[in-house]
Amino acid sequence: MMRIDIGSAAWRAYRIVGRVQGVGFRWWTRRTAEQLSLYGSVRNLTDGSVEVHVTGGVNELGRFEEFLRHGPLGARVDVLESIKPDPESPSDVFRIEP
């Protein structure tokens, strides 16, 4: 898994493949991240997958990854792939991007 650790915070990024568009996945991701005090962004990709960039405490990121493996009700996660994190992603909010 690719990570960039900055003090007690770390960056993670994922590409999620499955039935993840049109099922509220981005909204659920933002709500879940906010509940865990994580920051970053989520967006739909043109190939039907979803991309997430997230930063926060290592323990919270571990919990977040487990939530992503299942997704919200109505979604189906076939693949959760670690990708290169983008340290330019927001570090003070969790944003849903178009």
Active site residues per annotation: 26, 44
For the beta carbon of residue 11, count every other beta carbon within 10 angstroms: 21
For the beta carbon of residue 27, count every other beta carbon within 10 angstroms: 12
- Which residue is associated with the tokens 């039907």? 48
What single-letter amino acid sits at 58?
V
What single-letter amino acid sits at 27?
W
Burial class (CB in 10 A: 0-12, 13-18, 19+), 92: exposed
